[in-house]
Chain A
Amino acid sequence: MKHPKIQTLENITTSGRPPIEERVTLIDALDKVLEKGAVLDGEIAIRVADVDLVFIGLKLLITSISRAEVLRRGEDSSGGAVSKEDEEYIKGLEREIERAEGNIPRIIEASDPKKAEKGIAQLVLTLVKLIKDLMYREAKRRMGKGNLSEVEIQKLGLTFKALDKKIEEIRAIFGLEDEELNLDLGPLGNLM
């Protein structure tokens, strides 16, 4: 039987990121030790804060929620009634932005130039894709309201298609995986 190898702290700090297998075991080990295991009466426990927070220490590079808030405030002060449809639309935008945020903190690793380059490409592409997705949603909304002519639809559709292709191309150049730009939460996320 093979025993899981546990990476010691020294190894982690001196050799950069441990290989995948060991990283996996490290997370597993911490997760088990901090969350699971027997508990007895009468012991003094070292209480670790919320385990998830301990691991993550997540820093968001962009706090664009404020942008969505400005948007909402703008609609409020305009005096016009916000329709239910509009409200949902704005909520949708907010969700989209939050999804993008999730991708960003992991992206840029300044210690390694190669990784940093890839990270910046990923960041830029993620944002381009976000903007494209937002435009797409707006276009669809207008289509739904019947505000767009057949010519306009044709133009928009082709523009989006070209953008998609360009994003794909740059993605391939920098060796980024599709998931790395994926703005939805994958199988676990809520549907828009």
Chain B
Amino acid sequence: MKIMKGPYLYGICPSVKIHPPKFYVVKLRRVKKLLDKNIGEGIGGGKVFRIPYKDIEAVVSEVYLKEFGSKEIQKRAAEDLEWIKEKALMHEKVIETAMNNSDGLIIPMKFGAIFKGRESLISSLKKDYLRFKNLFKNLNGKAEYSVKIYLKSKPLENEIRKSSPIIQRKLEEIKSLPAGRQYFLEEEVNEMAKKEARNSINNYIPLFLEKLKGFTEELKENKILGKELTQRNDPMVFNGAFLVKKEKVDRFQKEIQKLRAEYEKIGFTFESSGPWPPYNFV
């Protein structure tokens, strides 16, 4: 019985230019094989290696089709949190290492891309060759950075309470009332400040993005993650990925520092991470 294996695809890189001494050309193959040896095993336990097509290369490792194509695995992927976590992190790690082996250039694949065989992978590469070439052109010298913004509402509400003339006037008005009734009116003022704070977020976020725009090439806005995911008490108010040119990374990060210095005191927290493979720009 034949055991069927197929390539699990992590990402696509431009061919790495290797310059061995002229009389060693024969050994080029071996050099290529060693290229990703620092990655070790991929998903499913196979070695990570590259399949070339023209001047691009697919970073893959072999998996048993039966194992990964079966219903059980689909069920597992849909239900077993630990399994997904383990495999998905492996996927990300392989991509990241391969990216570093390829001058920081890779088209990362979404988790779980498996081909029936080498031929079907090559025919996919052939079909999308131009698309990949264009992507490489666009991504060259750039990396993805994540920016997430959180907001603690209390400091912003306090700020608004201080700066809003309407609220100030209301507070003045109720000062002379009996304490019991005063409580109810104070609560109304608090509600007002809360509402105002909520509305003002719509002004702050575009302001932040405008400031970062000068140092970034592209922005992809992602959906806001809930508290269960962020494990933070203050809610997320912005989640995005920026494509940043290498030479602008420093200034981009300085700008985030500046935003921190200016807006942290009214409750905003800025979280950035990177460089990432450009998952959001492929």
Residues of chain B with a CB closer than 8 A to A52's CB: 226, 229
In the complex with contacts A1-B275, A33-B92, A46-B112, A27-B84 CB distance below 8 A = no
Pair A6/B92 contact, Cβ less than 8 Å: yes
Contact partner, B115, options A28, A42, A48, Cβ 8 Å: A42
Pair A188/B224 contact, Cβ less than 8 Å: yes
In the complex, given contacts A34-B111, A45-B113, what are 10 additional A-B residue pairs having Cβ atoms less than 8 angstroms apart?
Answer: A6-B93, A7-B89, A12-B85, A32-B276, A33-B110, A38-B11, A43-B9, A43-B124, A54-B81, A179-B153
Pair B92/A55 contact, Cβ less than 8 Å: no
In the complex with contacts A37-B110, A154-B178, A42-B120 CB distance below 8 A = yes
**CB contact list, B157-204 vs A, under 8 A:** 178-184, 187, 194-195, 197-198, 201
A41 on the B face (CB < 8 A) = yes
Residues of chain B with a CB closer than 8 A to A177's CB: 233
Pair A188/B235 contact, Cβ less than 8 Å: yes
Measured in the bound complex, the distance between the Cα atoms of B201 and A102 in whole Å is 22
B234 on the A face (CB < 8 A) = yes
**CB contact list, B83-122 vs A, under 8 A:** 84-86, 88-89, 91-93, 96, 100, 107-116, 120
In the complex with contacts A105-B228, A157-B183, A186-B151, A47-B78 CB distance below 8 A = yes
Contact partner, B229, options A4, A27, A43, Cβ 8 Å: A27
Pair B112/A48 contact, Cβ less than 8 Å: yes
- The residues of A with any CB-CB pair to B shorter than 8 Å are 1, 3-4, 6-9, 12, 23-49, 52, 54-58, 102, 105-106, 136, 139-140, 143, 150, 153-158, 160-161, 177-180, 182, 184-188, 191
Contact partner, A43, options B86, B115, B152, B181, Cβ 8 Å: B115
- The residues of B with any CB-CB pair to A shorter than 8 Å are 6, 9, 11-12, 65, 68-69, 73-74, 77-79, 81-82, 84-86, 88-89, 91-93, 96, 100, 107-116, 120, 123-124, 127-128, 143, 146, 148, 151-154, 178-184, 187, 194-195, 197-198, 201, 222, 224-231, 233-235, 237, 246, 249, 271, 273-276, 279-280, 282
Pair B235/A186 contact, Cβ less than 8 Å: yes
Measured in the bound complex, the distance between the Cα atoms of B152 and A60 in whole Å is 24
Pair B146/A28 contact, Cβ less than 8 Å: yes
A-B pairs with beta carbons under 8 Å apart, 28 shown = A4-B273, A6-B92, A6-B93, A12-B85, A23-B231, A24-B273, A25-B273, A30-B88, A33-B92, A33-B279, A36-B108, A36-B282, A40-B109, A43-B9, A44-B69, A46-B112, A47-B74, A47-B77, A47-B112, A54-B81, A54-B84, A56-B228, A102-B227, A105-B228, A156-B180, A157-B179, A187-B198, A191-B198
Give the nearest-CB partner of B182 in chain A.
Answer: A157
Residues of chain B with a CB closer than 8 A to A34's CB: 84, 88, 110-111
- B82 shortest CB reach to chain A, Å: 7
7 closest A-B pairs (Cβ-Cβ)?
A: A157-B180, A46-B112, A154-B180, A157-B183, A37-B110, A49-B78, A179-B233
Pair B78/A44 contact, Cβ less than 8 Å: no
Q: Is the interface of B mostly helix, strand, loop or mixed?
A: helix
- B95 shortest CB reach to chain A, Å: 8
Residues of chain A with a CB closer than 8 A to B109's CB: 37-40
Pair B111/A186 contact, Cβ less than 8 Å: no
Residues of chain A with a CB closer than 8 A to B81's CB: 54-55, 57
Residues of chain B with a CB closer than 8 A to A178's CB: 154
Measured in the bound complex, the distance between the Cα atoms of B230 and A141 in whole Å is 37
Pair B282/A37 contact, Cβ less than 8 Å: yes
Measured in the bound complex, the distance between the Cα atoms of B88 and A12 in whole Å is 14
Pair B146/A106 contact, Cβ less than 8 Å: no
Give the nearest-CB partner of A55 in chain B.
Answer: B229
Pair A158/B183 contact, Cβ less than 8 Å: yes
Measured in the bound complex, the distance between the Cα atoms of B233 and A180 in whole Å is 6
Give the nearest-CB partner of A191 in chain B.
Answer: B195
Pair B86/A46 contact, Cβ less than 8 Å: no
Measured in the bound complex, the distance between the Cα atoms of B63 and A34 in whole Å is 19
Measured in the bound complex, the distance between the Cα atoms of B36 and A92 in whole Å is 58
Residues of chain A with a CB closer than 8 A to B65's CB: 44
Measured in the bound complex, the distance between the Cα atoms of B86 and A57 in whole Å is 16
Residues of chain A with a CB closer than 8 A to B224's CB: 188
Pair A31/B112 contact, Cβ less than 8 Å: no
Measured in the bound complex, the distance between the Cα atoms of B85 and A88 in whole Å is 43
Residues of chain A with a CB closer than 8 A to B108's CB: 32, 36-38
- A102 shortest CB reach to chain B, Å: 7
